[in-house]
Amino acid sequence: MSKRITAAILALILAVCAIACGQAGPETIHAEPSTTQLPPTEIPMTPPATEVPATETPEPTVRERYPIEENTAFKPDVYPYLVRTESAVWYLAGEDIELLGEEAFYDGLYAVLEHAEEDFADAREALKGYINEEVLPVGIHTDFCGHEAYSKLPTYGAFLNGSISLYQNWMRASDALLHEYVHYLTMGCTVRSTGGDFWRESVAQYVANIVCRNRTADLFYSGMNPNAQDAETQAKQLGVWNEEENRVDHKKVEFMYAQSFANGDMVGFSYFTVGQKTVVRTQEFRDDPQRLELMYCEASCLLAYLIETYGRDMVYGNWSTSLSEMEEAFGKPFSELYHDWAAWNTEQCALMGITLP
């Protein structure tokens, strides 16, 4: 792989995902039109034989569905306001409102809320039968000012630690939100939770970016991201643009990145692993792949391969196994599973029209 080709892949990673470098530019969200209700219009008298057409009630806007409330229970001095939705209680930090400015903060909040509930419902449906039938609302709170330790890491847009913390800004948070909600489902809303970093991260990434549509993450690739225009151009060139819906296809992006790592194109590249460490990919990795040194996209696509090959019950039934237990369950050493997946992933990329440079 030439330096020019590798640079093209890295450019897309930086432009589309901006994860490796942790860049997050200013947010530019269009404010939602005014929701002021006009007084009802009087209908003039008509002859008895003429029917007056019924007036359709307009659908409530996202701001009307989820109004801002004063928080009087959980740390009201830190989170003076909250929003209740079907799946979550969102705690809004006063310092974050001041940081972004009231208009930008609430525009960002409602841009996320526009699709978050639908995404959360998709995740619950995707895990139906493996999580509890009744799922309690999760707590979500903002920490854009960076008080928590994980908020200072550029690779984190959100983090689950009992509740979900949102970091940096709405753009970065939107990209990671569904992933963390899947963690909430598979770690706190099931009898047998995902065990170990490999299973926790691969399941969360697989459900959020391959199984689910993940509408909220579209904000990360849209006008909220200053690199969005460049990302669209490069996404079209690489075959990861959804022409029908005019958006980046998250599933294709996942497979494309995974293929770049499987091909060895990322040797010398520093990245964050499912084992929660930053490492540099080496040439030796292809001969001796390590489960905890997989890039997130590799882990999610590997899981997709295992589910297609062995079935979802088999895979999810082992989502808390150690490396040796996993190898025993699937009848192969991990290195062989990895290489089988890499060959399958190449085929999938071709079928999806993904063309690496």
Q: Show me where the domains of the chain are located.
A: 1-23+243-357, 60-195+214-226
- Smallest CA-to-CA distance from 172 within 123, 119, 112, 212 is with 112
Contact 251, 354 (CB under 8 A): no
Which pLDDT tens digits describe the chain residue by residue (357 residues)? 444 444 445 545 544 443 333 333 333 333 333 333 323 333 334 445 556 566 778 899 999 999 999 999 999 999 999 999 999 999 999 999 999 999 999 999 999 999 999 999 999 999 999 999 999 999 999 999 999 988 888 778 999 999 999 999 999 999 999 999 999 999 999 999 999 999 999 999 999 999 999 999 998 877 555 565 677 788 888 999 999 998 989 999 999 999 999 999 999 999 999 999 999 999 999 999 999 999 999 999 999 999 999 999 999 999 999 999 999 999 999 999 999 999 999 999 999 999 886
Which residues, 6 or more positions from 348, have their beta carbon under 8 angstroms from its beta carbon? Answer: 255, 301
Distance in angstroms (rounded) separating the CA atoms of residues 213 and 316:
20
Q: What does each C-alpha distance from 2 to 41, 194, 263, 344 come to in angstroms?
A: 68, 39, 13, 24
Question: What tokens does 131 get?
Answer: 């999580």
